């Protein structure tokens, strides 16, 4: 099976050789950073239509965390174009974090469309290093389709626990690898080296549920959902919450 994967990877590489050459020469990454926000805006709009009920169910739980002040300090990792904003309840004070500064332009549009939220700041940083944010400063941290593209999911989850207050909640929605031994996983393995360039570092074969299980949250609730787009190599999704 490994030999077949390598041969098919080579075939895909040859078919997409210009892309890989641009990446090797350092030309692709700046281009990707510029176009990726617009690709994400298109895909997340369609994804929200398919996942609306589930997202409302997941993020509707944030209302219970408002307390006496009626406010919730919420950090969204890899906030992208702000596609989740419509699902957050009133009273959320949003801090947006994304390593791609080009996201801010589209993020501003989402802010204007969701006046029920209060926006604190946009931080250009990776999830592995959120030193701009103080320990225990957040009631809620949200990550949707982010842990697939970070360098170290383990380190990101450590940072999530650091910035959450005791009893704070981490809400997640992530795509993960197809089942081991399946043909679907084989094709994910074949396409992953090329997909990483197209998807701004997105990895198709991560078993993110294992990182969540080993992160030592006090409580973890998780369920699996089918992928919203059958024509993409992105696999099943896991959604849920983890309590510090």
The parent domain of residue 196 ranges over: 1-9+27-243
Residue 205, domain member (yes or no): yes
Q: What's the pLDDT score for residue 176? A: 96
pLDDT tens per residue across span 99-112? 888 777 778 888 88
Instruction: Say whether pTM exceeds 0.85.
Output: yes
Q: What's the pLDDT score for residue 162? A: 97
Q: How far is CA 138 from CA 93, 122, 125, 134, in A?
A: 10, 15, 17, 9
Residue 22, domain member (yes or no): no
Which CATH number does the domain housing residue 211 bear?
3.40.50.150
Residue 208, domain member (yes or no): yes
Provide the domain count of the chain.
Answer: 1
Q: What's the pLDDT score for residue 168? A: 96
What stretches in the chain show pLDDT beneath 50? none
Beta strand pairing status for 219-225 and 237-243?
antiparallel
pLDDT tens per residue across span 40-59? 767 777 777 788 889 999 99
Angle between helices 103-113 and 28-59 (to 10 degrees): 30
């Amino acid at each position: 099976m490994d030999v077949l994967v390598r041969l098919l990877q080579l075939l895909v590489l040859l078919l997409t050789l210009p892309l890989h050459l641009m990446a090797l020469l350092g030309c692709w990454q700046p281009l990707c950073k510029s176009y990726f926000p617009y690709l994400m805006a298109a895909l997340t709009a369609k994804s929200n239509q398919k996942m609306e009920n589930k997202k409302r169910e997941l993020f509707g739980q944030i209302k219970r965390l408002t307390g006496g002040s009626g406010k919730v300090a919420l950090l969204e990792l890899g906030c992208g174009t702000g596609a989740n904003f419509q699902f957050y309840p009133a009273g959320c004070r949003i801090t947006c974090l994304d390593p791609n500064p080009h996201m801010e332009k589209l993020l501003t549009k989402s802010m204007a469309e969701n006046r029920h939220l209060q926006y604190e700041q946009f931080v250009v940083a990776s999830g592995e290093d959120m030193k701009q944010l103080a320990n225990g400063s957040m009631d809620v941290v949200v990550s949707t389709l982010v842990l697939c593209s970070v360098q170290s999911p383990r380190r990101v989850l450590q940072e999530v626990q650091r910035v959450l207050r005791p009893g704070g909640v981490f809400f997640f929605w992530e795509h993960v690898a197809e089942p081991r031994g399946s043909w679907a996983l084989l094709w994910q393995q074949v396409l992953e080296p090329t997909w990483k360039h197209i998807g701004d570092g997105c990895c198709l074969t991560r078993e993110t549920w294992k990182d969540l299980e080993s992160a030592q949250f006090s409580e973890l609730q998780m369920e699996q959902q089918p992928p919203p787009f059958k024509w993409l190599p992105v696999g099943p999704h896991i959604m849920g919450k983890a309590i510090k």
